[in-house]
Amino acid sequence: MNIAIVGGGIGGLATALYLSRAGIAVRIYEAARELKPLGVGINLFPHAVRRLYELGLEEPLSRVGIKTRQFAFYTQHGQLLHEEPSGLLAGYNWPHISIHRADLHQVLLDATLKAIGPERVHLGHPCTGFAQNAEGVDVHFSGGLASIRADAVIACDGIHSAIRRQLYPGEGKPVFGGINMWRGVARGKPFLSGATLTRVGPISTGKLVIYPIRDYDDGTQLINWVAEIRRHVDAPNDWSKTGRLEDFLPAFAHWRFPWLDIPALLEASVPVLEYPMVDRDPLPRWTFGRITLLGDAAHPMYPRGGNGAAQAIIDADVLARELTRGGDIERALAAYETARLPLTSEIVRTNRTKPPDHIIELAEQRSGYQPFTDIEAVLPKAERDDILDSYRRTTQFDIAAVNGGKA
């Protein structure tokens, strides 16, 4: 088999690693002329870490990431709403790792170059479309390379996938849910446990997700934050767009908590990135003959619950397993779709309506967005646990699924 992977992001690199490990020849075609560090923090939950360790990446990930120990949910007034252990401390056989997206990408890129050779990673070739017949696929590019021939093509070219656009020409722009996001990082002293993924406040008035992604020798950390505010301003999705502090800082100006001075953290962050929270509606199918979609090209979702990159990594694992069963390529790609499309479609819908931080929304609504004296009277622990457990089951990273099988 000769497989072409269009896109050299997290999903594309993970796919290349899984396929090359199975003895399948792969080539990667990436639009960017240079693979630059992009984005900020990302969370890898145990269902994703299990697979990355399986690919032999335990040592480099442990070197550059932080093994998160705890989840904590707070109201906009700094009141603790819920906390629970994560990763190894929660009983998983694999850790939860918080990491800079650029560090994760570099770990995957280094492993891919070693596995398939740099001559098989082609940069500066934006995909413009494809044509296929019963024997193979011709993929067309701009940027100097006219076209290549492959036995099959895996589209890992993201939310603006050129291959998806050819398959679904009338789909239009990504779906904007009315929530704008700002992201940044700042170096500072550890807060709470020093390894806590913290969610604070409701979307309706302003929400923050805060967690460390890198340790330094002097005892400081690189702290990642994400601000979310409901605003009906639609704009193109662009990870590298520069945001303005004055557009969102007022919503958090009074958030000076005993465990962290939020305005100081935000003001210390340069640059700030801005982009809308967008996804796409689930598709009826991903696979068309010898072409299939993977990761954000198949199922872009709101960045909630740590499942964007995780589901792309799981896609890669399942796809490789189907292709190595032997037999017909088209059957293998169809079997991959059957295994993955229904689950990821449900995650897309759940991330819109009931992500883990839904418990903050409920508690704030029930308390009238005012401080409370007894959280059990507002949102009992049993109800909080049920919401969080339901999300874990939907996304298949509950302990039983991850530890007991290949969820």
Nearest partner of 294 among 264, 320, 272, 262, judged by Cα = 320
* CA 387/CA 396 separation, integer angstroms: 14
Query: Are the C-beta atoms of residues 44 and 101 closer than 8 Å to each other?
Result: no
The arithmetic mean of pLDDT across residues 90-110, rounded, is: 96
The arithmetic mean of pLDDT across residues 115-133, rounded, is: 95
pLDDT of residue 156 exceeding 80: yes
The arithmetic mean of pLDDT across residues 272-294, rounded, is: 94
* Amino acid identity, position 384: R
The arithmetic mean of pLDDT across residues 63-91, rounded, is: 96
Question: What's the angle, vertex CA 346, arms to CA 341 and CA 349, rounded to 5?
Answer: 125
Least confident of 163-172, 275-284, 309-318: 275-284
- Name the β-bridge partners of 288: 291
Q: What is the pLDDT of residue 172?
A: 87
pLDDT band at 161 (very low <50, low <70, confident <90, very high): very high
Residue recorded with tokens 């998806």: 164
pLDDT of residue 81 exceeding 90: yes
Nearest partner of 75 among 385, 357, 383, judged by Cα = 357
The arithmetic mean of pLDDT across residues 9-20, rounded, is: 97
- Name the β-bridge partners of 182: 227, 274
Least confident of 88-97, 137-146, 155-164: 137-146
* CA 247/CA 244 separation, integer angstroms: 6
The arithmetic mean of pLDDT across residues 127-132, rounded, is: 95
pTM: 0.94
Which residues touch 185 (CB under 8 Å, ≥6 apart)? 40, 41, 100, 213, 222, 223, 224, 225, 269
pLDDT of residue 374 exceeding 80: yes
What are the structural domains of the chain?
2-65+101-173+283-355 (3.50.50.60), 176-279 (3.30.9.30)
Average pLDDT taken over every residue of the chain: 93
pLDDT of residue 405 exceeding 80: no
* CA 274/CA 311 separation, integer angstroms: 24
* CA 48/CA 54 separation, integer angstroms: 10
pLDDT digits (tens, 9 = 90+) for 317-369: 999 999 999 779 999 999 999 999 999 999 999 999 899 999 999 999 999 99
Q: What is the pLDDT of residue 270?
A: 86
Query: Are the C-beta atoms of residues 338 and 358 closer than 8 Å to each other?
Result: no
Calculate the CA 92 to chain-centre distance. 20
DSSP state, residue 245: G
Residue recorded with tokens 């490990």: 21
Q: Is the dihedral of CA 196, 300, 138, 35 positive or negative?
A: negative
pLDDT digits (tens, 9 = 90+) for 213-267: 999 999 999 999 999 988 766 555 455 678 899 999 999 999 999 999 999 999 9
Q: What is the pLDDT of residue 234?
A: 57
Q: What is the pLDDT of residue 235?
A: 58
pLDDT digits (tens, 9 = 90+) for 172-226: 888 887 888 999 999 999 999 999 999 999 988 899 999 999 999 999 999 999 9
* CA 11/CA 244 separation, integer angstroms: 30
* CA 10/CA 16 separation, integer angstroms: 10
- Name the β-bridge partners of 197: 71
* Amino acid identity, position 101: R
pLDDT band at 125 (very low <50, low <70, confident <90, very high): very high
The arithmetic mean of pLDDT across residues 120-144, rounded, is: 92
The length of the chain in residues reads 407
Of all residues in the chain, the percent with pLDDT exceeding 90 is 82
Question: What's the angle, vertex CA 94, arms to CA 88 and CA 99, rounded to 5?
Answer: 90
